[in-house]
Amino acid sequence: MMPVNIPAHNRLGWLAGRLVSGASVMWLAATFTFLVQCLLPGDRAQIIINMTSGNVGEAPPGELAAVNAKYGFDQPLVLQYVKYIWGILHGDLGQSYQQHRPVVDIIAEQIGPTIILALAALIAAWVIAVMTTVLIAGRDNMWSTLLSGMQVFLATVPPYWLATILLVVFTVQLRIFPVIGGNSPVGLVLPTIALALELSGFLGQIVRSEFTRVLEQPFVMSSRARGMGELGVRFRHVLRHAALPGITLSGWAIGKLLSGAILIEAVFARQGLGGVLVAATSSRDVPVVSGAILISAGLFAITSMVVDLTYRIVDPRIKMT
Amino acid sequence: MLHVPPRQVPPLADLLTVDSLCVSFGRDLPEGTAVRGVSFSLQAGRCLAIVGGSGSGKSVTSRAIVGLAGRRAHVHARQLNFAGTDLIGLDDRSWQRVRGKEIGFVLQDALVGLDPLRPVGKEIGEALLLHHAVASGEELERRVVALLELVGVPEAEVKARQLPHQLSGGQRQRSLIAAALALDPRILIADEPTTALDVTVQAQVLGLLEETKVRGKALILISHDLAVVSRIADEVLVMHEGEVVERGSADQVFQDPQHAYTRKLLDAVPSARPRGSRLSLLPAARPPQPQSRSLEQLPARLPSTFPSIVLSAANLVKRFKGPDGVLRTVVDGVSFELRSGETLGVVGESGSGKSTMARMALALDLPDDGAVLFQGQAWTTLTDRERRARRRAISVIYQDPLSSFDPRWTVGRIISDSLASDVLTRGERDQRVIQLLDLVGLSPAFLNRRPLELSGGQRQRVAIARAIAPRPAVIVCDEPFSALDVLIQAQVLDLLADLKAHLNMSYIFISHDLGVVRHLSDRVMVMRQGRVVETGTRDEIFLNPRTDYTKGLIAAVPRLARGWAANRSFSRL
């Protein structure tokens, strides 16, 4: 629920500010990837020729000149930079050296499953963190000790290790899930859990410490004195406060989940950006890697905007300025 | 208004019976016992006041009645009976039916008693929803607005949709009372309902509580302030260290207190005693020892060329940008002079610009217009670097000492840190710290304690020791008592008065409590909405106020209404 007394122009101003800062993040990322492309050791034309022909030796100057002319490598850097930025503005991230296709197409084909995995993991992490927190915070019994120990353990376990263990236990031993699930919802379960558990440990610890603090606040006792039951108090009052630091953390978590997803995809042999990136990096297909970095920067800018907006909805005290 | 038919209560039937209530914490050991053997009964239309200093067990008693003493609390009683229901051993579900519906509870700390993330109306409506008292959303909205109107919150429809921080302290306290009254409970328990409020709002809230009593509700009022209680209470319980030390009708307790502790509480009310008399029974702060070389360089011993006006402010203006982007003038053309050895009291309601004015005197905020001269020289117009050298000549004591201390530092380090840097050797510094502790009446045993291990009064004493450590010419006290109960307040008031006499310091003393200002000040400045309404000597202001605003402030001060007639003649502002 939005507070009633915030003028509309403030909200628009906030949005405009966020868009400008998102755009500058994108611009910095683009400049960075451009510089990396130019400054990386090794002549780009040489790399392209070697990639196509499969040879390792130096190419004849004529061939080099042809490639340089085709990709515009012989033009001044400033011009190349302007063209690069211009291309990005028109949705053109360049051509893959290896596949000779637009980078945008390659990434667009693969990014869907990765984003789905990352979002599924974020939601799963939140659900696990909230459920355990609401159950255990501010109670001292065996379950609370056990579950809070579990949270610490999960926060320290690397996802790829967890992924391997899950794979062995649930597909090879118990045969509950298929080894290769493809893009079906069933195939999403294990990768999501593998990716989400570590984050749920982090989120859980942060939400729980805030939850315990808020449980002691006077307004909580006020609502108990009004006749509200324990679950009502926990869900309606305390959780909202306790979620705030977790929401802040979620922006960072999305970035972490996207990079984690690449590893998990490799372990589960899932379709996604992971395979493309691994292949592109090992064969020095720089435009694809740069494109992926740019897309990630864009996703990150969008996510942090969404996180900010969510925070403001949950905590209406913050003014839209 | 509330649409509940009046209940048929036999005139003298006990609504609530408490017999030998004991509450202990932790492992149920004698030393963990917060309440020992408290007994009382309450009838409809009567008000029982429970008074006592902090830690006397009065809040715990009230919470035990609604089953909210806490998870670690052990509650025993021979009898804890509400209108035929045995409250001991109620399960959670049955408690939920009693709380809010039968017994309304207004918690201490109005400022934090409402969920800061939810609109006020939702909080008030919560009780109605929980007990299924409304049939539709429309009815809910109507009832909430009616409740807010009942407790006298202006623009009820707007306020219901606002968040707690957008309401003033008094409005928040009223909203809490509205929430407690939502289901027209038969008993209303109010724990320190006026402590955080300034005098005019305090008077309004007390009027509201009195009306509630007149409407036939039973009232349990908990306070450390006898002056507050004396207006409404029919019966008084005085608690000390978990036990009831005195009980009786309000007349009896206020006119003829039997127990020494009750008399101490009564004496501690500043407005009840003439200026210059001691309020606490503690020994006076020690005068500086003749051999203590280090105290010889106090401002009083400075050469006689020292100007008698220590601090002067001319036409101070401060504006802040509000959330809507509009500049608001918080302090508007304030001028004053502070002479050596003088105490200037500054009074006014909350939001009158007192604290902002103090921050400008300290040069923590710089005025947008006008300037402050300190010891005859430029002060607010200096750069930070130039000012730093003379910073130690002006000290401050804050409202909440705890949050102004680094919780990890020991008392010794806290005080030592503010000693002038010309005290060179470690031994000298340690000795000075011990002297300062002695001066504020604390033993050297406190050197290694940390702020959290101190009581409220001890903390404020440490804050004072820290403030006088650099031998300042001026100390600014910003609401130094509002976090303390009357007994501790009395001790600290005495300490400040003693120090003033011994060390000849000047004070700027800011408070919304006119009683303490009257007790301590030589001259008084009354502020309202950023302007000085009236300045004069203490007697001019208190005995012969010129403006209606000052008259209103003084009239709103709760006084011990020791006689029945005085008790009845209480007027609502």
**pLDDT at residue B123 tops 80:** yes
- CB-based contact, B113 to chain A, within 8 Å: yes
Q: In sequence order, what are the beta bridge partners of B188?
A: B104, B219
My answer on whether B200 and B329 are in the same domain is: no
**Chain B neighbours among A 291-320 (CB < 8 Å)?**
314-317, 319
Cβ atoms < 10 Å from Cβ of B560: 20
**pLDDT at residue B501 tops 60:** yes
Residue B567 is assigned to a structural domain of this protein = no
Q: How many CB pairs under 8 A join A and B?
A: 86
- CB-based contact, B91 to chain A, within 8 Å: no
- Quote the domain boundaries for residue B138: 14-261
Give the tokens for residue A107.
């990434």
**Chain A neighbours among B 142-171 (CB < 8 Å)?**
158, 161-163, 165-166
Q: What is the pLDDT of residue B236?
A: 92
- CB-based contact, B69 to chain A, within 8 Å: no
User: pLDDT digit string (tens) for A182-193?
Assistant: 667 778 888 899
The pLDDT-based confidence of B48 (bands split at 50, 70, 90) is very high
Cα dihedral A128, A131, A134, A136 sign: negative
Query: Which residues does chain A have within 8 Å of residue B180's beta carbon, measured at their own beta carbons?
Result: 225-226
Point out the residue among B93, B99, B163 whose CB comes nearest to the CB of A226: B99
- Rounded to a whole number of angstroms, the distance from the CA of B440 to the nearest CA of chain A is 33
- Rounded to a whole number of angstroms, the distance from the CA of A195 to the nearest CA of chain B is 32
My answer on whether B465 and B384 are in the same domain is: yes
Over residues B249-275, the mean pLDDT reads 77
My answer on whether B461 and B371 are in the same domain is: yes
Do A11 and A320 contact (CB within 8 A), yes or no? yes
Residue carrying the six token digits 């002056």: B227
- CB-based contact, A9 to chain B, within 8 Å: no
3-state secondary structure at position A320 = coil
Q: What is the CA radius of gyration of chain B?
A: 25
Q: Do B180 and A225 touch (CB under 8 A)?
A: yes
Q: What is the CA radius of gyration of chain A?
A: 25
- Rounded to a whole number of angstroms, the distance from the CA of A236 to the nearest CA of chain B is 10
> ∠ at Cα B457 (B484, B112), nearest 5°?
35
My answer on whether B243 and B319 are in the same domain is: no
**Of the candidates A141, A103, A138, A110, which has an alpha carbon nearest to the alpha carbon of residue A286?**
A103
Nearest CA in chain A to B323: A319
**pLDDT at residue B442 tops 70:** yes
Query: Which residues does chain A have within 8 Å of residue B130's beta carbon, measured at their own beta carbons?
Result: 226-228, 232
Where chain A has pLDDT below 70, the residues are: 1-10, 179-183, 319-321
**pLDDT at residue B572 tops 50:** no
Considering chain B, what is the average pLDDT of its residues? 81
- CB-based contact, A11 to chain B, within 8 Å: no
- CB-based contact, B129 to chain A, within 8 Å: no
Looking at B199, B234, B261, the residue that finishes a domain is B261
- CB-based contact, B100 to chain A, within 8 Å: yes
Over residues B507-525, the mean pLDDT reads 87
Looking at B261, B290, B325, the residue that finishes a domain is B261
Q: Do A227 and B66 touch (CB under 8 A)?
A: no
My answer on whether B477 and B354 are in the same domain is: yes
CA distances from B190 to A226, B4, B131, B210, B501 (A): 13, 22, 21, 12, 40
Do B527 and B516 contact (CB within 8 A), yes or no? no
Burial B461-470 (b: 16+ CB within 10 A, else e): bbbbbbbbbb
DSSP output for A236-253: IIIHHHHHHHHHHHHHHH
Interface test with chain A among B59, B115, B195, by most A beta carbons within 10 Å: B115
CA distances from B72 to A139, B33, B196 (A): 11, 12, 28
Cα separation, B542 vs B551, in Å, equals 8
Point out the residue among A222, A228, A240 whose CB comes nearest to the CB of B113: A222
User: pLDDT digit string (tens) for A110-145?
Assistant: 888 888 899 999 999 999 999 888 888 877 788 888
My answer on whether B453 and B327 are in the same domain is: yes
DSSP E strands in B26-84: the ranges are 33-43, 47-51, 73-76, 79-82
Q: Do B126 and A228 touch (CB under 8 A)?
A: yes
DSSP output for A41-54: SS-HHHHHHHHHH-
Residue carrying the six token digits 């006990």: B14
Cα separation, B356 vs B86, in Å, equals 53
- CB-based contact, B132 to chain A, within 8 Å: no
Residue B298 is assigned to a structural domain of this protein = no
Cβ atoms < 10 Å from Cβ of B265: 27
Q: What is the pLDDT of residue A93?
A: 82
Residue B289 is assigned to a structural domain of this protein = no
Nearest CA in chain A to B65: A225
- CB-based contact, A271 to chain B, within 8 Å: no
As for the ipTM of the complex, it is 0.74
**pLDDT at residue B566 tops 50:** no
Q: Does B366 or B557 have the greater pLDDT score? A: B366
DSSP output for A124-193: HHHHHHHHHHHHHTT--SHHHHHHHHHHHHHHHS-HHHHHHHHIIIIIIIS--S-S--TTSHHHHHHHHH
**Of the candidates B402, B316, B309, B393, which has an alpha carbon nearest to the alpha carbon of residue B355?**
B316
Over residues B298-314, the mean pLDDT reads 61
Point out the residue among B96, B113, B163 whose CB comes nearest to the CB of A3: B163
The pLDDT-based confidence of B297 (bands split at 50, 70, 90) is very low
**Of the candidates B408, B434, B409, B406, which has an alpha carbon nearest to the alpha carbon of residue B419?**
B434
Residue B285 is assigned to a structural domain of this protein = no
Nearest CA in chain B to A10: B324
What 8-state DSSP symbol labels residue B99? B
Give the tokens for residue B205.
């809230």
**Of the candidates B287, B292, B302, which has an alpha carbon nearest to the alpha carbon of residue B433?**
B292
Residue B408 is assigned to a structural domain of this protein = yes
pLDDT above 70 covers a percentage of chain B that reads 86
| B12-26, B140-154, B281-295, B431-445: segment of lowest average pLDDT | B281-295
Q: What is the pLDDT of residue B294?
A: 41
Alpha carbons within 13 A on the beta-carbon side of A112: 8
- The CATH number covering residue B462 comes to 3.40.50.300
CA distances from B198 to A101, B68, B203, B553 (A): 74, 28, 9, 9
Which amino acid, A202? F
Q: What is the pLDDT of residue B429?
A: 87
The pLDDT-based confidence of B563 (bands split at 50, 70, 90) is very low
My answer on whether B235 and B356 are in the same domain is: no
Do B55 and B241 contact (CB within 8 A), yes or no? yes
DSSP output for B347-382: E--TTSSHHHHHHHHTTSS--SEEEEEETTEE-TTS
User: pLDDT digit string (tens) for B69-103?
Assistant: 877 788 888 988 888 888 888 888 888 888 988 99
Cα separation, A291 vs A101, in Å, equals 13
My answer on whether B70 and B148 are in the same domain is: yes
- CB-based contact, B321 to chain A, within 8 Å: no
Cα separation, B384 vs B374, in Å, equals 14
Which amino acid, B333? G
Interface test with chain B among A223, A234, A241, A244, by most B beta carbons within 10 Å: A223
Q: What is the pLDDT of residue B418?
A: 85
Q: What is the pLDDT of residue B307?
A: 46
Cα dihedral B397, B402, B406, B408 sign: positive
Cα dihedral A306, A307, A313, A318 sign: negative
My answer on whether B257 and B319 are in the same domain is: no
Residue B301 is assigned to a structural domain of this protein = no
**pLDDT at residue B486 tops 80:** no
The pLDDT-based confidence of B3 (bands split at 50, 70, 90) is low
| B292-306, B443-457, B544-558: segment of lowest average pLDDT | B292-306
- Rounded to a whole number of angstroms, the distance from the CA of B117 to the nearest CA of chain A is 6
Which amino acid, B38? V
My answer on whether B144 and B245 are in the same domain is: yes
Q: Do A7 and B324 touch (CB under 8 A)?
A: yes
- CB-based contact, A213 to chain B, within 8 Å: no
**Of the candidates B419, B157, B82, B129, which has an alpha carbon nearest to the alpha carbon of residue A223?**
B129
- Rounded to a whole number of angstroms, the distance from the CA of A15 to the nearest CA of chain B is 17
How many domains does one find in chain B?
2
What 8-state DSSP symbol labels residue B23? E
Cα separation, B21 vs B339, in Å, equals 55
Residue B294 is assigned to a structural domain of this protein = no
Point out the residue among B117, B131, B165 whose CB comes nearest to the CB of A241: B117
What 8-state DSSP symbol labels residue A234? I
Burial B42-69 (b: 16+ CB within 10 A, else e): bbbbbbbbbbbbbbbbbbbbbbbbbbbb
The pLDDT-based confidence of B188 (bands split at 50, 70, 90) is very high
N- to C-terminal Cα separation, chain A: 18
My answer on whether B245 and B313 are in the same domain is: no
The residues, ordered by sequence, that sit 6+ positions from B339 with a Cβ below 8 Å of its Cβ are B308, B309, B310, B506
My answer on whether B46 and B171 are in the same domain is: yes
Over residues B485-494, the mean pLDDT reads 78
Cα separation, B56 vs B225, in Å, equals 13
Q: Does B361 or B512 have the greater pLDDT score? A: B361
- CB-based contact, B217 to chain A, within 8 Å: no
Do B557 and B347 contact (CB within 8 A), yes or no? no
Q: What is the pLDDT of residue A182?
A: 64
CA distances from B36 to B19, B39, B41, B247, B333 (A): 11, 9, 16, 15, 55
Element (H, E) at A235: none
3-state secondary structure at position B64 = helix
Cα separation, A94 vs A106, in Å, equals 11
| A104-108, B181-185, B195-199, B327-331: segment of lowest average pLDDT | B195-199
User: pLDDT digit string (tens) for B378-418?
Assistant: 888 888 888 888 888 898 988 777 778 888 888 999 998 88
Q: What is the pLDDT of residue B27?
A: 66
Residue B4 is assigned to a structural domain of this protein = no
Query: Which residues does chain B have within 8 Å of residue A321's beta carbon, measured at their own beta carbons?
Result: 323
Phi, psi (rounded to 5 degrees) for A38: -80, -35
